[in-house]
Homo-oligomer: A and B are copies of this chain.
Amino acid sequence: MNAFNVSEHMQTLGLQAKTAAFLMARADAATKNRALKALAKRLREAGPALAEANEKDLARATAAGLSAPMVDRLKLTPKVIETVALGCEQLAGMADVIGEIIGMKQQPSGIRVGQMRVPIGVFGMIYESRPNVTIEAASLAIKSGNAAILRGGSEAIESNKALALLVSGALAEAGLPVEAVQLVQTTDREAVGQLIAMPEFVDVIIPRGGKGLIERISRDAKVPVIKHLDGNCHVYVDDTAEFEMALRIVDNAKTQKYSPCNAAEGLLVSAAVAEDFLPRIAAIFAAKGVEMRCDPVAARILRADDALAGSGARVVDAVESDWSEEYLAAVISIKVVEGVDEAIAHINRYSSHHTDAIVTRDHVHAQRFLREVDSASVMVNASTRFADGFEFGLGAEIGISTDKFHARGPVGIEGLTSLKYVVLGQGEVRS
């Protein structure tokens, strides 16, 4: 009945993407920005068509019994549409990084050597329910001069198809190849397997989703993967921390939102201040219903506090697995450490190398923490929640990398580029 050939479809998308990538790499900044502005305009004008497509996905999701938060993520509300449209306009307003030349220096031979930033080529994006990612990925592809092949979640296929049509229209309007951004037209899972195993067409894969999905993709991919695994982030409160600041940062890092990967999952407190600090932060956690999984010292301190005992604070004895766990919930692990040395050692052992922060006034401790904590983002006196492409000033975020290779931490447009060497000579030859 179904004559659709997934492998053929993917090969076609790959070949078209490769061809489009060559034209995108040559496109000038004004043309790419025109496409981004056209896309924003089309998004705002497409209200009814998008709503109709989205309605189909929502009806199917509801009929399939998806949970309310899952259905929520699928929704293309006017607010979501306005946000992605604004995102396109912001990208259009950003400086173009393609063609940037850095480090041009004369060498002893006389040649001048520098590096030019160029698009990486074709990226594949694999994501789950939120259809707005379709526009985010498309706009990043346009701005960075790359081609993209997008594989969204099957539950959002109708919404994604409607959005991809807007992207094609905007590309055509600006005179760019419509194959620069292509949506995989099938929900067949085999398409993912194909997409990650076409090194002849795809230069890098960016998966967004749960840890299981990303591990599976990393294991099977034949091309590099910009991967984001888990976020077991810590805040360490040092001996000299200002209490008000420490309370504010720890509270924000844990409770401002529970689900982001940059929320804190572990609190470390220097023994020198634990007796004073722990009851105060625990009172805040208790009021917000945050469960505290404590090492024996922290548990003793908190259980000895009468005010806290009466507040319904949930103080639980931590087990070994608590130190490694990413709760993404109203739970935090708490450990009293000897000082900055033990804090660094604990973090380097248990953290997921995502984001870790120290609260301190001590310059030497701050410097040691910055240098020695082996995480993608290391902070002094700031909330771990800042680990984000927009907050870091990247202008856009493709994802967050927990890898050390190529890109580490929040990945902006530059993560979709590479640097080639350019050499300017006056007839020099090698002797």
Chain A residues in the interface with B (C-beta under 8 A): 22, 25-26, 99, 105, 107, 109, 111, 113, 116, 118, 120-121, 203-204, 224, 242, 244-245, 248-249, 251-253, 256, 348, 357, 370-372, 374-383, 385-387, 391-393, 404-406, 408-410, 418-431
Contacts and interface: CB of A to CB of B under 8 A. Distances in A.
Majority secondary structure, A binding face: mixed
Contact of A420 (B26, B376, B385, B422): B376
A427 B248 contact: yes
Given A391-B111, A405-B204, A418-B408, A382 B425 contact: yes
Contacts of A109: 386, 391
Contact of A421 (B409, B419, B422, B426): B409
Contacts of A431: 256
A295 B99 CA distance: 34
A393 B203 CA distance: 28
A377 B420 contact: yes
A381 B105 contact: no
Nearest to A260: B430
Number of copies of this protein chain within its complex: 2
A358 to B, nearest CB: 10
A380 to B, nearest CB: 5
A113 to B, nearest CB: 5
Given A203-B404, A405-B120, A430 B386 contact: yes
Contact of A385 (B26, B409, B430): B430
5 contacts: A245-B427, A376-B420, A379-B422, A379-B425, A392-B421
B242 A392 contact: no
